[in-house]
């Protein structure tokens, strides 16, 4: 009798696969749809910018800041744990965590050989940061002083950088990963989830008292608008760059995904 262990048919069927099937790229948002969504978002930005610059947003902003506060000293509503949760949400739009998420998403797309989507994501985020910085410098609105600030914040107030950049990053990530699914319902769920996360970041800035409601509304509209516009306008450049630099991108994402991996000498000796 041989000493080799024979697996039953059921166990044999559930052996770990030696290959990883890569997702097939089968979808991208139609350029006309992206341009339409981006245009509508930027129209919203223009409306809020006009309200701010003309002084017509003052009552709206004051009401929005007071909505989350109570008492004569305008302290935040709710228990202490709610404040911590709001700070956690706002951290998703902070420079450190937001960029870590973006870098992780780009690396994941590269390893899944979705190089075009990875480069498009990088270009969208860099371009969004430039656009947001220029808008902040152009308007130069001071931070609200009506309520106490419950988080550290510096720089100009309009538009909200957290709101703008979180909309750029999370919506662009959603559009990139939606390319992996052939099912419309899955794609809509991914993009809708990204929209919800970015909206929660925007709302947290008003709750913490570091931005006027018009700041976050304009910031989110501008960031979402840029994410959609970039998906249409930067796509040809990302496609060309991915094709021309395929060898270099392959070198920084080693491994033969989708092919059987040879066992190392260390593994064979065990």
Sign of the alpha-carbon dihedral angle for 91, 148, 65, 145 = negative
E-assigned strand segments in the chain: 69-70, 75-76
Closest alpha carbon to 223 in 163, 151, 141, 139: 163
Asked if 102 and 93 touch (Cβ cutoff 8 Å), the reply is no
Length of the chain: 270
Please spell the DSSP secondary structure of 130-161, one letter per residue: HHHHHHHHHH-PPPP-SS--SS---S--SS-H
Q: Would you state the structure tokens that stand for residue 177, as one six-digit string?
A: 């990963």
φ, ψ for residue 196 (rounded to 5)? -65, -45
Say what the pLDDT of residue 77 is.
83
Residue 16 reports pLDDT greater than 60 = no
Which are the catalytic amino acids?
162, 211
User: Is the full-model pTM beyond 0.85?
Assistant: no
- pLDDT for res 192: 94
Q: What pLDDT is stored for residue 204 in this prediction?
A: 92
pLDDT in tens, 171-194: 999 998 888 877 888 889 999 999
Instruction: Tell me how far apart the alpha carbons of residues 174 and 63 are, in angstroms, rounded to a whole number.
Output: 33
**Could you state, in order of their start, the residue ranges of all structural domains in the chain?**
26-251
Find out whether 166 and 93 touch, Cβ atoms under 8 Å: yes
Q: How confident is the model at residue 141 (pLDDT cuts 50, 70, 90)?
A: confident
């Amino acid at each position: 009798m041989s000493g080799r262990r024979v697996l039953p048919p059921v166990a044999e069927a559930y052996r770990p696969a030696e290959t990883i099937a890569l997702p097939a790229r089968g979808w991208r948002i139609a350029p006309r749809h992206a341009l339409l969504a981006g245009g509508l978002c930027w129209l919203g930005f223009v409306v809020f910018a006009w309200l701010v610059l003309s002084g017509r947003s003052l009552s709206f902003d004051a009401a929005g800041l007071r909505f989350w506060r109570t008492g004569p000293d305008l302290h935040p509503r709710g228990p202490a744990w709610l404040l911590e949760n709001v700070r956690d949400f706002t951290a998703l739009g902070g420079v450190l965590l937001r960029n870590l998420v973006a870098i992780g998403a780009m690396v994941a797309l590269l390893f899944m050989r979705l190089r075009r989507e990875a480069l498009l994501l990088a270009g969208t985020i860099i371009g969004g940061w430039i656009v947001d910085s220029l808008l902040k410098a152009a308007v130069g609105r001071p931070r609200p002083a009506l309520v106490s600030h419950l988080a550290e914040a510096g720089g100009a107030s309009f538009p909200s950088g957290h709101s703008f950049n979180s909309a750029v990053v999370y919506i662009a990530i959603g559009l990139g990963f939606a390319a992996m699914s052939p099912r419309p319902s899955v794609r809509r769920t991914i993009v809708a989830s990204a929209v919800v996360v970015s909206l929660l970041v925007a709302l947290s800035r008003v709750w913490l008292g570091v931005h006027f409601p018009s700041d976050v509304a304009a910031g989110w509209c501008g960031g979402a608008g840029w994410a959609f516009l970039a998906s249409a306008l930067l796509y040809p450049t990302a496609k060309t760059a991915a094709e021309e630099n395929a060898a270099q991108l392959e070198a920084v994402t080693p491994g033969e995904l989708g092919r059987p991996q040879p066992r190392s000498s260390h593994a064979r000796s065990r």
